[in-house]
Amino acid sequence: MKKALICGISGQDGAYLAQLLLNKGYTVCGTSRDAQISSFNNLVRLGIRNEVKLESMALTDFRSVLQVLTKIQPDEIYNLAGQSSVGLSFEQPVETLESIATGTLNLLEAIRFLKARIKFYNASSSECFGDTGGIAADETTPFRPRSPYAVAKAAAFWEVANYREAYGLFACSGILFNHESPLRPERFVTQKIVTAACRIAQGSAEKLYLGNMCIQRDWGWAPEYVEAMYLMLQQEQPNDYVIATGESASLKDFVAAVFASVSLDWHDHVVSDASLLRPTDLEIGKGNPAKAKNQLGWEAKYKMKDVVQMMVKARLSD
């Protein structure tokens, strides 16, 4: 029986990954900065809270990381932890860099220090690419990060590559494009839109305030994307992969699809708010997942409109 350690298990991806691994017969352990007071609502929502062993671990504290790895002795580590909001990273750049870049480095160094045969997955991000001029980004596309979050994710990506090459660690990064689900918190714009539209459809007179709706993103379904993470660690050799649908849609298209799914015209309920614009943003995000399809056998089944339907259905059934 394999044992997996999921750092950041309380988030969207961590919860879905825990569910996937439990279904595959893994012993699953998860970490949080303070496991005794964390609610782990996503694990509760998926009905797996009592099936997961939980530990407190501060990723920015090397001693804490070393202690947990020594205690758990995992076969696989999935690093999904760290500050996860691009928008918040402009307000908390130091916390973002430390939680992502330093946290990843501590995990890699602990694996090296323990001389453990642990396979390591690192959650990288399409934000690392910056603007690619509408060209679909693949594993050879240069990084040009445009936010503190993207800078931190880029640093963590190269840390993983360095430890793989210098020390022979089985370490890889999944460069994931946007992926959504009902487990997204409302500070993410997709869930903000879905939640507001459902409230309005149920009689609320509120308006939905959004920033730049011309941006385009490659939106996928989170439960599918965690399957790609698992597959990366089942390969004979470690490698990095872009995970995406290969299709982009504008935020305006996403908004229109959400409101249409509850029989409303978004023009009547959405207001543009300049205060929500970021200092820098990506115009178009689009991925080329050909390598993942060819080497992992992974391909996205659900596209943006499917994701909208599933998120709205989940929200209305709450």
pLDDT tens sequence for the chain (318 residues): 999 999 999 999 999 999 999 999 999 999 988 877 788 999 999 999 999 999 999 999 999 999 999 999 999 999 999 998 888 999 999 999 999 999 999 999 999 999 999 999 999 999 999 989 889 999 999 999 999 999 999 999 999 999 999 999 999 999 999 999 999 988 889 999 999 999 999 999 999 999 989 999 999 999 999 999 999 999 999 999 999 999 999 999 999 999 999 999 999 999 988 777 766 677 889 999 999 999 999 999 999 999 999 999 999 998
Number of folded domains in the chain?
2
- Domain containing residue 198: CATH number: 3.90.25.10
Q: Is residue 259 domain-shared with residue 149, that is, in the same domain?
A: no
Among 221, 220, 211, smallest CA distance to 252 is for 211
pTM of the model: 0.95
What is the separation of C-alpha 81 from the centre of its chain, rounded to a whole number of angstroms? 9
Q: Which residue segment(s) compose the domain that 190 sits in?
A: 184-217+247-285+302-317
Among 24, 124, 7, smallest CA distance to 77 is for 7
In this structure, the number of other CB atoms found within 10 A of the CB of residue 218 comes to 28
In angstroms, what is the C-alpha Rg of the chain?
19
Q: Is residue 161 domain-shared with residue 205, that is, in the same domain?
A: no
Q: Is residue 165 domain-shared with residue 255, that is, in the same domain?
A: no
Report yes or no on 71 lying in a domain.
yes
- Domain containing residue 137: CATH number: 3.40.50.720
Among 168, 134, 162, smallest CA distance to 247 is for 134
Q: Is residue 129 domain-shared with residue 274, that is, in the same domain?
A: no
Q: Is residue 138 domain-shared with residue 37, that is, in the same domain?
A: yes
Q: Is residue 81 domain-shared with residue 205, that is, in the same domain?
A: no
> What phi and psi values does residue 307 have, to the nearest 5 degrees?
-60, -45
Q: Is residue 119 domain-shared with residue 10, that is, in the same domain?
A: yes
Helix (H) or strand (E) holding 164, with range, is helix 148-167
Q: Is residue 79 domain-shared with residue 124, that is, in the same domain?
A: yes
Q: Is residue 23 domain-shared with residue 103, that is, in the same domain?
A: yes
- What are the structure tokens assigned to 62, written together? 């090397």
Write out the catalytic residue numbers: 125, 127, 149
Beta-bridged to residue 250, according to DSSP, are: 216
